[in-house]
Amino acid sequence: MKFFGENGWISLHKALLEASTIETNRLLKGKDDKDKLKSFFERGLLESLENTNEDIVVLADARLRKWWDSFKNGTIHPTKLPIHIDYPNYKERVRFVRVNHTDELPQYRINPKGKEKVNRQSGLFYDSNGIYYSIGIRPDTMQNTSHPEQKFNSPNKHFLHQRLIEIIPLGATELEEHEQLANLVYQMRRLNIAYDAHTIFPYPLHIVNSLRKYMTFLNSEFESTEFDETVILGDSEKIELALH
């Protein structure tokens, strides 16, 4: 892990200890800082590519688009990388996945065998625009909680409902690779061995977000519940996802 503005890589354990020492003057504030962020990331990615022969998958929180236009809706494209890489051999080894859990995502319902009923499904879904949607499983302690209504039909009512996570693979030209990337992200939501439930973010982003606990000066803009507590376990039957 590398903090913005630092040159060296550190372990997660050390990052947790150092997170509380970060001062507000190191936060992004203006256009110049946005350019510095891009340069910092690109240098780090190039360094990682130089140090390994393995392919690299970059997971990008969709909220990053506030500082980086390449990740905005209307700018991203499924077959194009959001950054420029000069070296062709490096370019082929990098893929990005934008992960979005913000309130802009549509309400939805899952219709088992085309029938509309109480939502008890989980899984990875795909739409014709090349966007994947991940719905995780509910913790054991909440399995029996249900509600006769659906957010799709009652978006303004407050009750437990599966959280929809948007997954957009970037840089791959073949559908098969897009599916592999989306499934990788979906599976990484199950890597927290301490809980029998999906985290909202795939595990690497979940860990990075956990550093916020130690950064007490931050406001609530980037706050997020750590675990997806609004998900209901379902059967493994073929289902239909309807977005609203």
Q: Give the tens place of pLDDT for each residue, 22-59.
A: 766 556 666 677 888 889 999 999 999 999 999 999 99
Contact 119, 161 (CB under 8 A): yes
| % of residues, the chain, pLDDT over 70 | 65
Nearest by Cα to 143 from 204, 225, 231, 76: 231
Beta-carbon count within 10 A of 10 CB:
14
What is the pTM assigned to this prediction?
A: 0.78
Q: How far apart are CA 61 and CA 43, in angstroms?
A: 19
229 confidence band (pLDDT: 50, 70, 90): very low
5 found inside a domain: no
4 found inside a domain: no
168 confidence band (pLDDT: 50, 70, 90): very high
Q: Which two tokens stand for residue 83?
A: 């950054």
Per-residue pLDDT at 228: 39
3 found inside a domain: no
Helical spans, DSSP H, in 24-110: 31-50, 88-91
214 found inside a domain: yes
22 found inside a domain: yes
Number of H helices, E strands in the chain: 5, 7
18 found inside a domain: yes
1 found inside a domain: no
149 found inside a domain: yes
- Cα three-residue angle 8-222-84, rounded to 5 degrees: 55
Over range 79-93, report the average pLDDT: 93
* Residue predicted with more confidence, 178 or 119: 178
Q: How far apart are CA 211 and CA 200, in angstroms?
A: 15
Given a cut of 70, is residue 144 above it in pLDDT?
Answer: no
Q: Which long-range contacts (CB under 8 A, 24 or more apart) does 145-150 make?
A: 145/232, 146/118, 146/120, 146/232, 147/118, 148/118, 150/109, 150/116, 150/118, 150/119
197 confidence band (pLDDT: 50, 70, 90): low
Per-residue pLDDT at 48: 94
Contact 29, 50 (CB under 8 A): no
Q: Which two tokens stand for residue 108?
A: 């939805």
Return the top range by mean pLDDT from 62-71, 110-119, 176-185, 209-218: 176-185
Q: Does residue 156 sit in helix, strand or coil?
A: coil
Per-residue pLDDT at 119: 59
Buried b / exposed e over 125-163, threshold 16 CB at 10 Å, is: beeeeebbbbbbbbbeebeeeeeeebbbeeeeeeebbbb
Beta-carbon count within 10 A of 93 CB:
15
Over range 220-241, report the average pLDDT: 39
| % of residues, the chain, pLDDT over 90 | 32
Per-residue pLDDT at 226: 43
Contact 132, 126 (CB under 8 A): yes
Rounded to whole angstroms, what are the CA distances from 230 to 121, 151, 205?
12, 12, 19
Q: Which two tokens stand for residue 27?
A: 């936060």
Q: In terms of residue numbers, what domain contains 218?
A: 12-243
Q: What is the DSSP letter of 49?
A: H
Provide the number of structural domains found in the chain.
1
Per-residue pLDDT at 241: 46
Over range 146-162, report the average pLDDT: 58
Q: How far apart are CA 55 and CA 77, in angstroms?
A: 20
104 confidence band (pLDDT: 50, 70, 90): confident
